[in-house]
Amino acid sequence: MNIVLDAFGGDNAPISVIKGCLLALDNYRDIKIILSGNKDMLEKIAKENNLSLSRFEICNAKDIIDVEDNPMEICKSKILSSMAVGMNLLKKGDGDAFVSAGSTGALAVGSSLLVGRIKGVKRAALAPVMPSAKGCFMLLDAGANLECRPEMLLQFAIMGSIYSNKVLGVKNPKIGLANVGAESSKGTEAHKQAYILLKQCNYINFIGNVEARDIPFGACDVVVSDGLSGNMILKTMEGTSNFFVKTLRDMYMQTNATKIAAALMSKQNRKLKKRMDYTEYGGAVFMGISQPIIKAHGNSDANAFKNAIRQARECIKQGVIDEISKNIGSSVGDE
Amino acid sequence: MNIVLDAFGGDNAPISVIKGCLLALDNYRDIKIILSGNKDMLEKIAKENNLSLSRFEICNAKDIIDVEDNPMEICKSKILSSMAVGMNLLKKGDGDAFVSAGSTGALAVGSSLLVGRIKGVKRAALAPVMPSAKGCFMLLDAGANLECRPEMLLQFAIMGSIYSNKVLGVKNPKIGLANVGAESSKGTEAHKQAYILLKQCNYINFIGNVEARDIPFGACDVVVSDGLSGNMILKTMEGTSNFFVKTLRDMYMQTNATKIAAALMSKQNRKLKKRMDYTEYGGAVFMGISQPIIKAHGNSDANAFKNAIRQARECIKQGVIDEISKNIGSSVGDE
């Protein structure tokens, strides 16, 4: 299988991209990696950093799309960017999955317009895999579609269920609808209608509404939400986690006694850090696109890129797209 | 000033309510407390627990409204509940502020229908005060109005700014609009229009959009949001904080070495606990109601009730309602 990497996406590109790809090649013998990006620059930077590019195929792309660029430009003035060129490799059949740590907005537009959605899927959802007390859960949508119709939420539930089962190995994944209260009467009109649709769907194991306060404790395996709610959940969890990690670190540094405490807790601290590390589970998947597209975190290091590549490989190996394709069409009527 | 307490609201009522009121009376000599609730039951429980009711006025209310009750019942079958009777004391002029740890939904309905909004206020917002790295911030709306028009968000900003300044003592409070990204072009149509209204308003210090990940770090003093986003922010922060506190406690219990670490960190742990204790700042205020109504947390203990009473007292002393009244009318045209 050919996994395409956006060599110039993310804060630490291209060095971390190259290092992550080398790690992945060492770990997974069944993959081939294509780097999309400016060939001259790649070769120059690789040489300066003593990195070999000999194990990669390089697909030249003279431009870079920036987080400041209007996402729509990926189809216009930035069609020769490393991101657009990489995505077009999927369209042409030269690539089987795409990983980028670049602009989320541009990736969303490119996913839908350059690669295209699975037939029958109304909207693609941005779906990060996040840590919880019971392991991890998938959240979709985390911001690609701020307002969602109930049928879209049903499709998100089906797609999330398939991912959770096939890639994360969860048997009969529990699906929850993020809402302001547990009762079926809670929320907006869209929530109430979605509740009914989810309840009626035999394909999924719908456990009802979940309140945001129960999500970090692992209330369900898949959290379904409109993109606005999902974005708030994702970023509040991230911010609050970062706040705690920083506070704990400050606490440890305060006195000689607390410094000793830090040493006594070093094993536990490492475990906590690993457990809260979002990149351990890979990046966010654009669920509903006809080939696996993974958005790695903007500040991904080599290990994060390796994990995102592992995730792309799992999506391919487990036939996630085919499974969605088979089960999404019959879920709801056409628009 | 007369502060009315719902004696039968919350998980630990009426014992914690009584204890909290006694604490408040010890601390604030300028308040009088009226307990609303079943007089016979109150006297019986007080006697059983060796608590004196001699310092309170009691207003008899034979019924209790439950969290399972439809909130609208507060104006119908539950008009004789401790909550409804207490709110009616405000309407009649016998009370100056109301504190309850009962059903949020019933309190929202009762606030608007029994007590009434300030003239010119389109909707009342549920506004908790929450801890951040820089102290605390007010979030409004946290769930009373799931979908909000831009003019409502502008009014929330003005009311939050007044509370932050008058009660929390913040000079020129920084107002942020909770959104999926920092740029003015981000979010739904309502977000974009609200951004323009907030920018144009001279009364407030609008610093632009804030992303949820920056809120725990104290990005602003007042977070303005629709009730759906706000509910997700509030409960995700609460859940993630609880998760961390639990995890840290588990970490400390693992080995003899970590137990020693816990002892070495005891002062810091206490400080962290106090800092993350939501009830230290009081409860959530129904901003926009013509008298101060405070929603205390459902599991409030005596200290939490004391803090909510302090908060009600501050609202009265600082003339928060008058200040809103003076400044809200001219903010936007009538509906």
Q: What is the mean pLDDT of each run of 10 residues along chain A (335 residues)?
A: 97 96 97 98 97 97 92 94 97 97 95 96 96 95 96 98 97 97 93 97 97 96 98 96 92 94 93 85 95 95 96 98 89 45
- Interface list for B 53-72 with A (CB within 8 A): none
CA–CA separation, A148 and A154 (whole Å): 10
How far lies A246's CA from each of A234, A236, A253, A319, B260, in Å? Answer: 18, 15, 11, 40, 22
Subunit contact A268:B251, Cβ cutoff 8 A? yes
226-285 in B: which are within 8 Å (CB) of A?
Answer: 227-229, 231-244, 246-248, 251-252, 254, 257-258, 260-262, 264-265, 268-269, 272
Phi-psi region of A50 (alpha: psi -120 to 50; beta: other; left: phi over 0): left
- Other beta carbons within 10 Å of A202: 6
Nearest residue, CB atoms, B180 vs list A216, A231, A272: A231
The beta-strand segments (E) located in A92-192 are 97-100, 125-132, 135-140, 174-178
Q: Which two tokens stand for residue A156?
A: 């998100």
CA distances from A161 to A138, A164, A226 (A): 9, 5, 16
Interface test with A, best of B189, B191, B232, B242 (most A CBs within 10 A): B232
Q: Which residues in chain A touch residue B133, judged by CB atoms under 8 angstroms apart?
A: 243, 246-247
Contacts of B235 in chain A (CB under 8 A): 211-213
DSSP line for B153-189: HHHHHHHHHHHHHHTS--SS-EEEEE-SSSSTT-S-H
Q: Measured between CB atoms, which of A146, A233, A251 is closest to B236?
A: A233
pLDDT tens string B188-217: 999 999 999 999 999 999 999 999 999 999
CA B165/CA A201 separation, integer angstroms: 50
Helix (H) or strand (E) holding A224: strand A222-224
Give the strand pairing for B135-140 and B205-210: unpaired
Interface of A with B in 155-184 (CB under 8 A): 178, 180
Contact of B139 with B223, CB cutoff 8 Å: yes
- pLDDT value for A274: 85
What is the pLDDT at residue B68?
Answer: 86
Interface contacts (A, B; CB < 8 Å): 141
For residue B102, give every residue at least 6 positions away whose Cβ sits within 8 Å of its Cβ, in sequence order, or none. B6, B8, B9, B10, B13, B65, B67, B82, B83
**ipTM reported for the complex, 2 dp:** 0.94
Q: How many angstroms from the chain centroid is the CA of residue A61?
A: 24
Would you state the pLDDT for residue B67?
A: 86
User: Which residues of B are less than 8 Å from A106 in CB distance?
Assistant: none
B216 and A227: CB-CB below 8 Å? no
| pLDDT computed for residue B334 by the predictor | 40
The end-to-end CA distance of chain A, in Å, is: 34
In chain B, which residues have their Cβ closer than 8 Å to the Cβ of A248? Answer: 248
φ, ψ of residue A143 in degrees (nearest 5): 145, 0
Of B213, B238, B258, the CB nearest to A235: B213
Task: Give the whole-angstrom CA distance, residue B208 versus residue B162.
Answer: 18
Per-residue pLDDT of chain B (335 residues; tens, 9 = 90+): 999 999 999 999 999 999 999 999 999 999 999 999 999 999 999 999 999 999 999 999 999 999 889 999 999 999 999 999 999 999 999 999 999 999 999 999 999 999 999 999 999 999 999 999 999 999 999 999 999 999 999 999 999 999 999 999 999 999 999 999 999 999 999 999 999 999 999 999 999 999 999 999 999 999 999 999 999 999 999 999 999 999 999 999 999 999 999 999 999 999 988 888 888 888 999 999 999 999 999 999 999 999 999 999 999 999 999 999 999 975 544 43
